[in-house]
Each structure stands twice: as structure tokens, then as C-alpha cells.
Amino acid sequence: MAVYTVSQVTRYIKESLERDALLADLWVSGEVSNYTRSSAGHSYFSLKEANTVLRCVMFRGGSGHEHLASGAAVSCHGRISVYEVRGDLQCIVDLARPEGMGERYLELERLLVQLEAEGLFEPSRKRPLPVFPQRLGVITSPTGAVWHDIQTVVERRYPLTELVLAPCLVQGDTAAPTIIEAFEAINAEPGIDAVILARGGGSVEDLWPFNEEPVARAVYASRPPVISAVGHETNTTVADMVADVRAPTPSAAAELAVPDSRVLAARIAQNSQALYQGVQQELALRADDVRDCLAVIERRVPDIASRRQQVDDLLAGLVLRLENSLALHRQRVTGHDQRLGALDPSDVLRRGYAVVSREDTGETLLDAGQVSAGDAVQVWLHRGGFAARVEGDGGTN
């Protein structure tokens, strides 16, 4: 026979209780006794009825601590578990409300706590609306005044937006499934920039489909951002809390969804005027800059007439120096010509001298000793020449 430890038994009991669907999600009512609250914010108490007592704990994050006090009659939502350290059976409570509230409202409170814990109401996840929507989805009844009001507002404010109706029921027990189907249709439609979920005013019971969990999750899962306008301004549903934007009425939702063309036209005119004035001012500033630059340029323009006169003076001086230089060189050339003329052999020959060279070698004779008797020579005179032969021995005279 198997023998188990205490911890194994208590753990088995704990797991068995937590697997039970009824005990994992139940409401239990009774009178609060032995209530204490720790410094950490956790509430410890018991629920008693006649001779029966159920230990309970609500941790700091639970909702409804303010309703707990010894002797108070409350309804609590939670789950049954076992505190293994002491082996105590206890109810871990997440929501407490005064006894006497209807079952539907208790369930709504539980749903609000659950959805808030999951982050469906978190402001940081809410998306901004598009400024200029091209296609706007509308989820509402096609036969009610809401659809007509939304059409009228959009046509008046911004007729460029196309409205896409996803019809649904807006009250009754069968309304919630049709709302979910409408969201599915909107999500499947291409180019939807935002969606309005709307219905007119009514009693709390009439608006109840918008408090149901599947509808809340459909709003949360919507691809385009959602503007919720359910009932009047005083009515608040779960769908309103999950939606990206809450509008007090369907008409107000339409006004939030599209811009006002008249305001846009006025803004365009204002911006156009401001732009024109800005351009004019900028042109005036640039004109002043151009005038300043022209003044600077004019001050820095060289004195062309003076420079031209200086050039003329330089050219005149250059011509004079060139003429003087040419005259000097001309005189030098004349002198060289005269000196060269004095050295011209033809002038020497003209005075009766002759040039004699050996006929065999062409060597010019400068000394009589360069020839002997019988040598042939060539004699050149001022005009012409002749051949001759040496007679007698050469010698000096």
C-alpha cells in the first residue's frame, strides 16, 4: 500500500480543486467575519452562514476591498484552493460586492475586473483617429435614426468620406452575435480607416449587448480604430471602455470621425494669406539685401577711365622706349656694318691686292716659302683670276 507525505496529499487536493470548473469560477455569498487587512494591502476574512465557515483571502489587486468589514453581507467571486502551508481550504477572491446586487451586475463587475487586468482598458493602447478618413465603417441598425444622423453629419462636414454600413441588431439577446459579425465584415473590407459603433439611447437592459464579453473583445480586435457611441452621454458600456474613442452620441461620433470642411477651408485661406505675407516679407528682405550688395559693388567698381589713362601713358612710354632702343640698335648695326665693310676682302682686292692659292690643294699662300719653282698656283684679283706657275725658288723679300 502506497504511503504519501502530507505535502503530496495537500498538493493533490489543491490541484484537484483547481481543476474543477465550478470551483475555479464561482460566486459565493455570506457574512464577513474575522476581517483583517495586512500592511501589504491584502484582506483576510471568513464567509460564514449558520454554522459553516469558508476562509477567504483577497490580494491587494482585487476589487471591492472597501465592501469588506466584519458583519457585512457580501457576494464574492473567486476560486477554491488550498493553502498548502496549513492545509486550509480557502477561497481566493478577486471581486467583492455588497450582497443584493443582481447576478447580471455581479458578472459585469467580474468582467470589468478581468478585462482591466488583461489591459483592454489601457489608455496607452488606444489608437488615434485618422485626420482625413477616406472610408468610414459604421456598425449600427440600418433602420434606426442613428444611421441617418451619421450620414447627415458626414455629408455636411466632409462629403469626401465614403460610409460603409455593416448592419447589426442593437438590442436583444441575439444582438451580440450580429455585432461581432459586423466587426468581422468591417475587418474584411479593404481601406476602412475607422469604424463607428453606435446606437441610440435606451434602458440599461436595451444597451446590455454592448456589455457582453464577446462584443468587448471584437471591439478590441478591430483592425481600424473604433469610436463607440452607445446610448446617451450618461450611459457607459464595456464597449465604450474598450473602444479607442468614446463619443457621447452617434452624431458626436460622426463629428469626431471626420473633419469640418468649413473649418478646413478657413484654415487653408488663413494659411494661404500667411504664406503670401511671408513670401512678400521675404521678398522685401531679399530686395534690401540686393540693394545693399549693389551699393557695395558700386563702391568697389574700379576707376576705368583712370586705369585707361594709365594704360595709355604706359603704352606711350613703351613706344618711346622701343623707338629709342631701335635707334640705338640701328646705330650699332651701322657701325658693325662699317667695320665689316672695312674687313671685306673685295675692298682689299679693289686696291690692287691679290689672293694666291695652291692649285693642287687650294691652300691660300701667306708665305713665299710655301711654293717652289714649277708649282701651279691660282691668282684671284678684284675682278676675275688666272692660273700661273712659279718660276724660281720662293723666298722672303
Residue type, 287: A
Residue with cell 476581517: 35
What are φ and ψ of residue 396, in 5° steps? -95, 145
In this structure, what C-alpha cell is assigned to residue 208? 446590455
* Cα dihedral 46, 66, 103, 18 in deg (nearest 10): -50
SS3 content of the chain, % helix, strand, coil (to 5): 45, 25, 30
Q: What's residue 100's pLDDT?
A: 63
In this structure, what C-alpha cell is assigned to residue 194? 475607422
Read off the pLDDT of each residue in 233-254 and give the average, rounded to a whole number: 90
- Tens of pLDDT, residues 305-343: 777 888 888 888 888 888 888 888 888 888 888 777 766
Name residue 90's beta-bridge partners. Answer: 55, 81
Is the pLDDT at 394 greater than 60? The verdict is: no
Q: What mean pLDDT value characterizes the chain?
A: 87
**352 band by pLDDT with thresholds 50, 70 and 90:** confident
In this structure, what C-alpha cell is assigned to residue 268? 487653408
pTM: 0.53
| Separation between Cα atoms, residue 260 and residue 127, nearest integer Å | 21
3-class DSSP assignment, residue 226: strand
Show the beta-strand stretches assigned E in 4-134: 26-37, 43-49, 52-63, 73-83, 88-98
Q: Which helix (H) or strand (E) holds 388?
A: strand 385-389
Residue 322 CB partners (closer than 8 Å, separation 6+):
none
Is the pLDDT at 106 greater than 90? The verdict is: no
Read off the pLDDT of each residue in 205-231 and give the average, rounded to a whole number: 93
Per-residue three-class SS string for 153-200: HHHHHCCCCEEEEEECCCCCCCHHHHHHHHHHHHHHCCCCCEEEEEEC
The answer to whether 373 and 392 have CB atoms below 8 angstroms apart is: yes
